[in-house]
């Protein structure tokens, strides 16, 4: 099926068009905007992009007038396969309780772990599918989804199978599954005189059993680990990364959310695609990430929720790092499904420009997920488009708080309107 969409602004995010004289985006815009643009889609793919006046005449066309077309948004960091609710612990926190009291009351990651243990795989898949549908209604056409609340192999596999089930829905975002192998220590490995032995035994089990089995079952494309103070050490995460690389998984890591313990260097060493959070990172490591092509995935909803200082964005930018912006959707520290809200916060709190933010949630996010045929409107790529009920692409990040989509299309199919 062939169809042409036209609009006042077609934001391709295609570097080949950025600032070219044929298009009227003007020099310096990295977004490759075509004014009075047209996108021809044929089945699941983009067949042609250009000026509406140059578009083929014999094809069914739909004109969106003064609106904006962008690539479908790509949310490259989510924990969307959760169950339960952590509203109770949020209320505690707002009353001034610290994390120890919250943990003593059964809150934190272990509370979501218990909810994952209790829910059936079918219900988990159904809840995730509903969440993905809501994300699509905000403009998301590709979504990374992590496991990490299972902690045992059986429950991690259950979470990843639920993700695979939800991913079969062609009317929801394209899903990229990540095995978050080292997220938190199970409760039974935390306390007692032999806590160190139990911790080591847990990491051994993850490295020698969880990673190979899950990789061989093709339940994930990426491995993730939480490398931070009060989480896992560089040495522990390195063992998981090496096991994953040996089995063909790519790497993305939670790094520097609370402290710089060397996670960025580990990421550069093991050829990670992305380091995520990076509130705490030094200049030498930032240059190393830029040199190795490791993306920095910024998660402003998390630092907003936790009342943290932003990452050193100006320093990272000067070092040449490429940014991704993601929602970090999770029930505790980033309780939102909205990538557009994360984009608005990236501008308001982190000082990214609107153009940087749009690239960070489309092209760069797709590249960080090894999805080169998404995130850019270009011939041959998947037809993943958002038609925004907005006069300019910068209005995606201001105002915020409401859905502004006119239509969302993935692989040429309607996801939301």
Number of residues binding to Zn ion, judged by CB under 5 A = 1
Q: Are strands 405-410 and 413-416 parallel, antiparallel or unpaired?
A: antiparallel
Q: Are strands 385-388 and 68-71 parallel, antiparallel or unpaired?
A: antiparallel
x/- map, 213-252, Zn ion, by CB under 5 A: ----------------------------------------
Nearer to Zn ion, 9 or 146 (CB): 146
Q: What radius of gyration do the chain's Cα atoms show? A: 21
Region of 112-120, 235-243, 328-336, 352-360 interacting with Zn ion (CB under 5 A):
328-336
Q: Among residues 147, 220, 217, 213, which one has the least CA distance to residue 182? A: 147
The residue with tokens 């420009």 is: 353
Residues near 97 by beta carbon (within 8 Å), at least 6 away in sequence = 105
Residues near 264 by beta carbon (within 8 Å), at least 6 away in sequence = 255, 256, 275, 278, 281, 282, 285, 286, 288, 289, 294
Nearer to Zn ion, 68 or 329 (CB): 329
366 DSSP 8-state letter: H
Smallest distance from the beta carbon of 57 to Zn ion, in angstroms?
A: 48
Residues near 280 by beta carbon (within 8 Å), at least 6 away in sequence = 256, 257, 258, 259, 260, 311
Nearer to Zn ion, 253 or 359 (CB): 253
Q: What are phi and psi of 28, to 5 degrees?
A: 95, -20
Nearer to Zn ion, 14 or 328 (CB): 328
Nearer to Zn ion, 76 or 396 (CB): 76
Region of 93-101, 113-121, 152-160, 325-333 interacting with Zn ion (CB under 5 A):
325-333
Region of 65-73, 134-142, 326-334, 395-403 interacting with Zn ion (CB under 5 A):
326-334
Region of 47-55, 155-163, 327-335, 342-350 interacting with Zn ion (CB under 5 A):
327-335
CA 67 to mean position of chain CA atoms = 26
Query: Is the CB of residue 415 less than 8 Å from the CB of residue 409?
Result: yes
Region of 157-165, 203-211, 322-330, 388-396 interacting with Zn ion (CB under 5 A):
322-330
DSSP string, 391-402: SSGGGGSSS-SS
Nearer to Zn ion, 11 or 326 (CB): 326
DSSP E strands, 105-255? 140-146, 174-182, 222-227, 250-255
Smallest distance from the beta carbon of 299 to Zn ion, in angstroms?
A: 7
208 DSSP 8-state letter: I
Q: Which residue is nearest to Zn ion (CB)?
A: 328
d(CA 142, CA 382): 11
Nearer to Zn ion, 180 or 416 (CB): 180
Instruction: For the segment 13-32, give every residue that binds Zn ion (CB under 5 A).
Output: none
Region of 149-157, 208-216, 323-331, 357-365 interacting with Zn ion (CB under 5 A):
323-331
Nearer to Zn ion, 323 or 382 (CB): 323
Alpha-carbon torsion angle 91, 97, 102, 108, nearest 10 = 70
Region of 31-39, 168-176, 320-328, 353-361 interacting with Zn ion (CB under 5 A):
320-328
CA 14 to mean position of chain CA atoms = 20
Smallest distance from the beta carbon of 77 to Zn ion, in angstroms?
A: 6
Nearer to Zn ion, 244 or 383 (CB): 244
Nearer to Zn ion, 228 or 328 (CB): 328
Smallest distance from the beta carbon of 243 to Zn ion, in angstroms?
A: 21
The two tokens of residue 359 are 């690239």
x/- map, 272-311, Zn ion, by CB under 5 A: ----------------------------------------
Smallest distance from the beta carbon of 267 to Zn ion, in angstroms?
A: 14
Binding site for Zn ion (CB under 5 A): 328
């Amino acid at each position: 099926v062939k169809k042409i969409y036209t609009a006042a602004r077609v934001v391709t995010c295609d570097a080949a068009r950025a600032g070219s004289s044929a298009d009227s985006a003007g020099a310096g815009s990295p977004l490759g905007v075509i004014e009075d643009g047209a996108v021809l889609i044929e089945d699941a793919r983009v067949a042609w992009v250009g000026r509406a006046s140059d578009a083929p005449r014999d094809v069914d066309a739909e004109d969106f007038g003064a609106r904006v077309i962008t690539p479908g948004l790509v949310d490259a960091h989510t924990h969307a396969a959760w169950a339960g609710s952590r509203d109770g612990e949020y209320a505690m926190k707002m009353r001034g309780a610290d994390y120890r009291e919250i943990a003593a009351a059964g809150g934190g990651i272990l509370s979501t772990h218990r909810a994952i243990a209790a829910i059936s795989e079918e219900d988990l898949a159904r809840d995730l599918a509903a969440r993905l549908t809501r994300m699509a209604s905000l403009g998301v056409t590709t979504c990374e989804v992590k496991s990490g609340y299972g902690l045992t192999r059986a429950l991690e596999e259950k979470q990843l199978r639920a993700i695979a089930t939800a991913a079969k829905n062609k009317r929801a975002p394209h899903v990229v599954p990540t095995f978050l192998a080292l997220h938190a220590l199970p409760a039974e490995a935390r306390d007692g005189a032999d806590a160190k032995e139990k911790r080591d035994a847990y990491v051994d089990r993850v490295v020698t059993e969880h990673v190979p089995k899950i990789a061989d079952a093709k339940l994930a494309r990426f491995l993730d680990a939480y490398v931070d103070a009060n989480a896992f050490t560089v040495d522990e995460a390195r063992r998981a990364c090496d096991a994953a690389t040996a089995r063909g998984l790519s790497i993305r890591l939670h790094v520097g959310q609370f402290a710089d313990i060397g996670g960025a260097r580990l990421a550069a060493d093991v050829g990670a695609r992305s380091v995520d959070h990076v509130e705490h990172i030094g200049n030498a490591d930032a240059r190393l990430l830029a040199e190795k092509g490791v993306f920095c995935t910024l998660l402003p909803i998390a630092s907003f929720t936790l009342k943290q200082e932003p990452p050193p964005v100006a320093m990272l930018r000067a070092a040449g790092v490429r940014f991704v912006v993601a929602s970090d959707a999770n029930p505790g520290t980033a309780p939102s499904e909205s990538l557009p809200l994360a984009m608005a916060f990236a501008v308001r709190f982190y000082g990214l420009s609107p153009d940087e933010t749009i690239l960070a949630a489309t092209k760069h996010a797709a590249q960080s997920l090894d999805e080169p045929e998404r995130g850019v409107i270009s011939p041959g790529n998947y037809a993943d488009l958002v038609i925004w009920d907005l006069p300019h692409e910068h209005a995606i990040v201001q105002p915020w708080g409401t859905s502004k989509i006119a239509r969302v299309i993935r692989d040429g199919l309607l996801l939301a309107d």
